[in-house]
Amino acid sequence: MRIARFSIDGNVGFGVLERDELDVIKGHPFAEFERSGQKVPLDKVRLLPPVLPNKVVGVGRNYAEHAAELGNEVPEAPVTFFKPSTSVIGPGDPIAYPSFSQEVHHEAELAVVIRRMCREVPRERVKDVILGYTCANDVTARDVQRREKQWARAKGFDGSCPLGPWVETDLDPSDLTIQCTVNGEQRQLGRTGDMVRPIEDLIVHITEAMTLLPGDVVLTGTPAGVGPLNVGDTVAVTIEGIGTLTNKVIKRG
């Protein structure tokens, strides 16, 4: 099932995608829910970020080839970082190029969406706390990341976390093709099966330390092929079984 968040005529809601229509959900998708039977055509709505996370937890260097391309080793423990809620934008929203960077990179990533409040999740319970999966772009100011020891600015600026286009709930995420194109040209192509640490390990590791809330998002790292984005570029992240997340890079106004 694909669950989208949308707005139409000033109203915001969740809907289940059925071909080219959304079947509007009563309430929200983080508990048992009913469909209202009210249908809205997909081309009449604006798709929003599929969730509004309280926090986005990122994981660095989780694909060996990507770690190597930036001259890094795969770390012994996963590198984790935050992207604030204000970094999240939706499908079709513009990525405003930050004024303090000259080297902004795309990072195509599989995003895990959390369904229920959880902490200290044992490996065998990880599936129970996940609502589904969506596409993410962990947009990174690479020059700032090199310059500043903590990555709050490099990875947390406004618009640096495009998510969408919807959450796919019925998906085995263990070996999916993940791709990034810029202006239609392929930049990244990998498989989620090449993650150094699988999703179960990441959720165990993160929830050892902190509570995850419904709608929180875990980014699982990017495959090799990261590279620059420029003003005017259109960047698209496509993950097998989910869909395509497209955003345009604009000058910050």
Binding site for Zn ion (CB under 5 A): 107, 138, 222
- Residue 236 CB-density burial (10 A; 0-12 exposed, 13-18 middle, 19+ buried): buried
The single-letter code of the amino acid at 117 is M
**Which residue number, 47 or 110, has a Cβ lying nearer to Zn ion?**
110
Alpha-carbon distances of 110 from 144, 172, 232, rounded to whole Å = 24, 12, 25
Chain position whose Cβ is nearest to Zn ion: 138
Smallest distance, Å, CB 32 to Zn ion?
A: 33
**Which residue number, 107 or 168, has a Cβ lying nearer to Zn ion?**
107
CB 111 within 8 A of CB 220: yes
Smallest distance, Å, CB 192 to Zn ion?
A: 13
**Which residue number, 138 or 233, has a Cβ lying nearer to Zn ion?**
138
Cβ neighbours of residue 147 under 8 Å, at least 6 residues apart? none
Smallest distance, Å, CB 137 to Zn ion?
A: 9
Structure tokens at 32: 């048992």
**Which residue number, 207 or 222, has a Cβ lying nearer to Zn ion?**
222
Smallest distance, Å, CB 107 to Zn ion?
A: 4
